[in-house]
Chains A and B, each alone.
Chain A
């Protein structure tokens, strides 16, 4: 019988503008509760996978080595992963693979990023450099700019409205208030969201995720260890990953992320579930249009009906498919390396029934969806109690 692999410990640092901590302290803030949650110490961990997207943000090279040593993992195997905004989920996938390959029984995944110390113009610059530096970056296209191109195309092709984009923001702010680890804990009205400052037309301030500092940690174990150490393991039953062209001008479509569709297909097949079976999901809402495209590309609704899906409230608790109960990247924040790990933390909480006021009652099957850059990377994980 093949062994299942499960989440046995989760920890989450407070996301936000963290002037009080650097990347090492944030990592500690996430790892400590994860170890306590699993009821183990670092001596029980065989290896670590550390996700940090960019060295320039923290002004620290080899952040993986720094974090690994700081959290007390000296002499144990470790490597760092990078998949832009999907770094954290790449880490979960790598840890899962290590266990599956028999190289480790328990693996600690840490995702961390400090982004606020460089300031917004510089952060925008650093993220823009993750685009094609020969042919697209030289035009000053930004990260919001790329998604704005997709938003314009989606609005043109499917009639998605300004209000529908803002409705995603309203929902995620509403749930962010209920997440004590979220960067922004403030509700926003539809009117306020619609009228906010334009960043890259048609996207405005409330369409864009926050620039944040933060960290999250997850401990994975094989079935035997998980059952021994944990009363409520959450199993990772499906993993899918795919990629796409570096240049957005080479994409066949600008209204869908092909990498999401391909990754989701693989994950659903592996977990033997369909989109209808998903009780709760966290999706990559770096921009509101990204969440609308995710509804469609993950099969939560038909292509082109993502706008209607949010307008009908289907992604709220009580709707057809609750999405981003943790506030999403929009309200919770998006410290690049931490985001994917934080997604696994949230789904684990939901499936354990520990999400308090934002709990989707009776959730048994969950999904996390993490996009790197503008779809160059995508990871979809499916979880079950």
Chain B
């Protein structure tokens, strides 16, 4: 299983673990044991230089900070266009960029409450995406 609509980077242990959890509908980040910095999506190393990281489960609800409707995407994404990309702030303050579905550009608003859900793009590709709550 790979992460993303498109991607080519080799799978690291970190990403494999993240994907496994995402398949089970859990959104996992990493936290530094040294300085407590939290990362979502996860990182193997902290920006403080530490590699002592532990997993934490991030909340799956938050609100939209901003969004765009991508009409002309990169060549590799042509078959998915148009799509809406949003940045949301989750309830623990983490920020995530992903597609949002279940809305139209007209109904979508900044500050709208959303939930993060796992989404199988194809048989071998998975992503997280936003959907309006309720």
Query: B-contacting residues of A (Cβ < 8 Å)?
Result: 120-122, 124-125, 128, 133-142, 144-145, 148-153, 156, 198-203, 247-251, 254
Contacts and interface: CB of A to CB of B under 8 A. Distances in A.
B117 interface: no
Contacts of A122: 75
Contact of A199 (B9, B71, B127): B71
CB-based closest 8 A-B pairs? A138-B4, A140-B77, A148-B68, A201-B69, A125-B74, A153-B66, A121-B75, A125-B75
Contact of A248 (B3, B83, B97, B127): B97
Interface residue range, chain B: 35 or more
B69 A139 contact: no
A215 B69 CA distance: 33
A153 B110 contact: yes
Interface in B63-84: 65-78, 80-81, 83
A156 B110 contact: yes
B22 to A, nearest CB: 12
Contacts of B5: 138-140
Contact of A152 (B4, B66, B74, B97): B66
A84 to B, nearest CB: 16
Contacts of B4: 137-139
Given A134-B15, A200-B69, 13 more contacts: A120-B72, A133-B7, A134-B9, A138-B127, A140-B85, A141-B85, A142-B73, A149-B68, A149-B85, A153-B66, A156-B66, A198-B69, A249-B96
B8 to A, nearest CB: 8
Contacts of A151: 68
B132 interface: no
A156 B9 CA distance: 35
B49 interface: no
B102 interface: no
21 contacts: A121-B72, A122-B75, A125-B76, A137-B6, A139-B98, A140-B81, A140-B83, A142-B70, A142-B74, A148-B68, A149-B68, A153-B66, A156-B66, A199-B71, A201-B68, A201-B69, A247-B97, A249-B87, A249-B95, A249-B96, A254-B87
